Structures are given as structure tokens and as C-alpha cells.
Chain A
Amino acid sequence: MSMPEEFESGGPLPELLLGYVSVRSQGGISALEAEPRALASAEPFQASSDDHEEARGALESVGLEVVGESRLGKTVAGPPGAFEELTGGKCVTREVLLHAEAGRERYVTHVDIVGPSQPDALGLAMAASEAAQIEGVLLERPRFLQALFPAPIPPSVSKFHLRVPDDVALLLGATAAHRQGYEGAGVTVAMVDSGQYAHPFFLAHGYDVKPAVSVVPGASPTRDPVGHGTGESANIFAVAPAATLHPYRASDSRGRLVGAITGFLRAKAEGPQVLTNSWGGDGPYPPAGPLDPWERVWALEIRDAVEQGIVVVFSAGNGSFAVEPQVPGVLAAGGVYATAGLDLRASDYASGYDSPWFEDVTVPTVCGLVGLRPRAQYLMLPVPPGSEIDVGESVADAGDSPDGTTGNDGWALFSGTSAAAPQLAGAVALILGARPGLTPAQVRQALVETAVDVRTGRCHPRFNFRAQSGPDFATGSGLVSAAAAVERALTF
């Protein structure tokens, strides 16, 4: 079934409309009715000073503000009621199918003025009184920037790296799942992070991103001053392109993650199938004693989400030691590094340990793709231009060379277990898309039983565990293999 090109939607009108008013042409032919060849010169369509004055008076008398003028006409702004009074028509909304940003076709809301004496052309209306010296009114139409910034396609840099979505999908075995039709459709992944910027990368790929919820008062839901949430969320879609992302911004206006627990609680209350978190605390390792009371309350809250049926993912940490990934039932996302030759080894950037607090819990559970120290510049990810990560990764730091991008191009090389968590979340979305209703324990079983064993390398030197044959503290059960996990899940 084809979609209609245009239809009246009955949607709400904007409070303010903009329009162009053509003042009576001195040449005797209205600019709105002239044949194309008559447009060879603009001079006949200029209006006299007297007519300009008449028109201005008529416009202002109905409550329209003149915001710009030329020899031909005026641009005006005002409420829909003012345009209706000027024309005697009625303002209505119409949805028009257009090629909009990034070449994507979508319905765009237009405003039209309709009535017995009004022309059919969309957005065009005639003045009710000829005395106003107005030939016609054209309502402003939505316009789109023809050049996209930042670019939806990443820049080419010389440093070895992986790209989203294709490289990440391939190495995590998701491409094979996509070919079988498993793309995570119908699964909502909530992500609590620094924010979500509307990068053209997401639009160009047609990814489904719900409007972000900002949990910190005064922080805009459309901004991401750090770039972390925006960039890492691309990992979800690399693995599960048909999933729905619901971002929760937990950072303040300076990008500090001051509302992380609030974000987790808010996301949990909405009951997503997957809740992914690329953050956590840090404390002494090994810890001096049992969990603090506040940590017990917090851990119980996380455990409660799992018991509600939400698959909760936490990053293992980049050398940090925290309670979040240790909570029983949580999928703790560790790091495996794939070389250019596709050899796999434990990432020395990722935490790995046996939980001193919870029996039978090791961190990580399984792994995603994570770079190596000193700063794990590994995945080319979309970020807000000029954001903290965009700038920070473009310059040398900690003995590491710049990533080869610029500080305001909207792309940066980074990773960390922050990338592994959304990759796992994507794999979970594939599983739940294929087998809705599986419990978090079943999802975990499918991932663990099918992960690719990693036998070389060591995790972060703070823990210094060696990867070896079979499950280990460095990489858990190994690198996620998404298609195999889906296949396993289908047998439950």
C-alpha cells in the first residue's frame, strides 16, 4: 500500500506563523499569477510606496508584525488568527510526504489557508479586501538544510579502528542474525548516560530513537555536552538496527553524571526489556569490608529490576571496581580486542575480577569489543560536534596520538567497557526480538553458552587476570556471538 502524498491532519496549529506578503505589482500583473517568462525582470513586480504603506497598515491592523521588507513585498509573523482575519480563510494543518534531512522520506507538517475564495495551492491565500493592496499571502514552508553537519558518514583516519555499524556487527556475529531477519524489532532498550544528540548518523540509518528524558533539572534533553551517550548508543544499533532506543540523560549542564541513580530508577519504572548502563562507581580493590548500607540499598534496586524481568547490563569498568556489575543477575560487560588480523585477546582497558561480595559472581559475564590502553581509541563513533569527547580524542594525551579526526567534526575514536555494554544490550535485543518473553536468566544463558572463548591477553593491570581456555576473570565466557545466542535462545 502506498502512502498518500498529502492529507489534512487536523493537528494543532503553531502559535506563530510566518508568511510572505506580495504587495500589488506596479506592472499590473500579480507576481503570484505571472507566467514564468514574465519573471525575466523583477522590476514590474515592485510595489509603489503608497501601496507599501497601505499594505503595512492592513497587516498591522489584524495583528501581523512586519519582520522584513523588500521592493516587492514583506515577510510577516503572527498568530494563525491574524492570517485568518487578513484572508477571511481558515488555517489548517496538512501532512506532506517529503524528502527531508539525510534524504529520508517523512511526513512534514505544513499550514494551509482554506476557504471558498481561496486558491488550491498549498499555503497560498488571497487577502479578503482588495483595499489592502495585497496580491496574496504565502505561508512559510518547512525547509531543510541541504548540507548535513555533522556528516552521517565517519571520516577516514589512519589509526586502526572499527566502524559502526558494519565492523561491530560483523565481529559480534550480528550480521548473520540480521540475514536471518533478527534485528531487534519490538524491543526497547533504555540507556542512562550523558545525553543523546540528534546526530545525522542515526537519522541516515533510520534508527528509532525516542526523545530523551532529562532527569536533572535544567539539563536539556536534546543536548549531550560530553558526547558519551550519543556515541556509545550507536553500538546498540550496530547489533540491533531495528531496536528502539529510549535515552535518559543523567548529566548536568556541564556533563557531570550527577543523576545516574535517578536515571536508572526512572528508566526502570518505564519497564523496558533492556536497561543498559555504561557507568558506575569505584572503590578499593579488594574492598576493606562488606557493602556500605547505601550500596546495599542500591544493589537491591538493581536486583529488583532483574526480578521484574528487565535485562540489566552494566559495563565492567575501565580499571574500576564497583558494586553495579556485581549485582547477581546483571550482565557485566567486559572487553575483548580484535586485531586487524581478527585475533582476539582480552582488553587491558577492561576490569575483570571475582566478586568478593556475591557468591558465584564474576565480572565480566561476557564481553564486547573494547580497545587497549592507554585510552582505547578503537571505535569510530558519532558525537556532538565540539563535545568533550570530540575535542579530547582529537588531541594527543597520555602518550597516545590524536585519533585523526578534528575537534568539531562530530566523530571520535573511543570505546571502553562503555561500548561493550550497549553492544551486549543490542545482542539482548536480538534475542528478545526472536524470542519475546525470555527471562533475564535465559538471555544470560544464551549469551554465556555461545560466547567465543578468548584465550590470550590480560585484563586491566589493576586486576591483572589472564585470559585462558574456558571461562576466566579476564573475559568471562568470552566475546558475544549474537547469531549463535539467538539460535540458542530459539531452543528454549
Chain B
Amino acid sequence: MSGPSPDTRGIDWPYLEAILEWGEGGVDPVVERWLAERGFTFLPMRAGLLVTGSTAAFEAAFGVDLEQVKPPVELEVPEALRAAVASVTIPPAREIHG
């Protein structure tokens, strides 16, 4: 029993998780503001942020068509974030191990 797989037809999930890795400068409040302005929510991680939002929010903010890709997807870091952010990646959805 592995449960329904989200990975079969590109990314069409209503809720997406992305892991943002801080660059060498570390935590920067500018990044959090930028994300919040675009409708994302986020949870702090030891070395980054867990960024969550809708598919539409990710597509608009990061200029990517998520229907056409399969995770993991490393998103292009927007110019405004490059000083603080090393990477932003939508990981593959986790599968249950039943």
C-alpha cells in the first residue's frame, strides 16, 4: 500500500512545499517579506525556510510552469533574493510506507 502518488502528472497539488536554503549571509528578513507579499507562508528551519503556498503562487513568483515538470524542481532564485538565498527546491512529495 503506497497511497496515491502525486508524481505522475507534473505538479498539480493544491498545496506545495519548497525548501529554501539560506546563502552564506544567513537569515534575511527581506526574503520573508518578499515571500509574504506574494502570498506564501513559511516556517523557519535550521538552515533555511519551508515555504508553502499554492501552485499558482509558485508559478507567478518564480516564473515556472509546474504542470510541465516533475519534482524535485530547483526553482530559479529571483534577482531580489539572490544575495541571501542559495536555492529554492520543490522536493518530491513524500510517500506513505504502508
**A residues lining the B interface (CB < 8 Å):** 193-194, 216-218, 226, 228, 231-232, 252-262, 265-266, 278-282, 292-298, 300-301, 303-304, 315-318, 320, 375-376, 388-389, 392-393, 414-419, 421
State A218–B15 Cα separation when bound (angstroms). Answer: 10
Residue in contact with B15 in the complex, picked from A259, A279, A293, CB distance below 8 Å: A259
A279 and B96 contact, CB distance less than 8 A: yes
B3 pairs with A318, CB closer than 8 A: no
11 A-B pairs (CB sep. < 8 Å): A255-B3, A258-B14, A258-B16, A262-B52, A265-B50, A279-B94, A293-B86, A295-B91, A296-B47, A297-B45, A389-B98
**Which residue of the partner chain, among B4, B46, B48, B97, contacts A278 with CB atoms under 8 Å?**
B97
Could you tell me if B87 and A260 are in contact, using CB atoms closer than 8 angstroms?
no
CB neighbours (8 Å) of A281 from chain B are: 91-92, 94-95
Cβ-closest 6 pairs across A and B: A294-B89, A260-B94, A418-B97, A294-B19, A315-B97, A418-B98
Interface contact B46-A294, CB-CB below 8 Å? no
B96 close to A257 (CB less than 8 A): yes
Is B93 part of the binding interface, using a Cβ–Cβ cutoff of 8 Å? Answer: yes
Q: Are A278 and B96 within 8 A (Cβ)?
A: yes
Question: Hey, what's the 0/1 contact readout for B14-46 against A, CB within 8 Å counting as 1?
Answer: 111101110000000000000000000001011
Q: How far is the CA of A265 from the CA of B44 in the complex (A)?
A: 9
Whether the Cβ atoms of A226 and B3 lie closer than 8 Å is yes
**Bound Cα distance from A430 to B46, whole angstroms:** 30
In the complex, what residue of chain A is closest to B16 when comparing beta carbons?
A258
Nearest CB of chain B from residue A203's CB, rounded to whole Å = 23
Kindly report which residue of chain A lies nearest to residue B20, judged by CB atoms.
A297
From B2, B6, B17, B86, A318 is in contact (CB under 8 Å) with: B2
Please name all residues of chain A whose beta carbon is closer than 8 Å to the beta carbon of B2 when the two chains form the complex. Answer: 318
Contacts of A194 in B (CB 8 A): 3, 96
> Chain B residues with Cβ under 8 A from A320's Cβ?
95, 97
Question: A388 to B97, Cβ gap below 8 A?
Answer: no
Residues in B with CB closer than 8 Å to A260 are: 17, 93-94
| B98 near A278: Cβ-Cβ < 8 Å | yes
| CB closest chain-B residue, reference A219 | B15
CB proximity of B90 to chain A, nearest CB, Å: 9
> Given A194-B3, A294-B87, list of 9 further CB < 8 A pairs?
A216-B14, A228-B1, A258-B13, A262-B17, A278-B96, A282-B92, A295-B91, A318-B2, A388-B4
Interface pair A282/B15, CB less than 8 Å apart? no
Asked if B78 lies at the interface with its beta carbon under 8 angstroms from chain A, I say: no
**Residue B10 CB within 8 A of the other chain:** no
Whether, in the assembled complex, B72 has its beta carbon less than 8 Å from a beta carbon of chain A, the answer is yes
The distance from the CB of A235 to the nearest CB of chain B, in whole angstroms, is 11
- A252→B47 contact, CB < 8 A: no
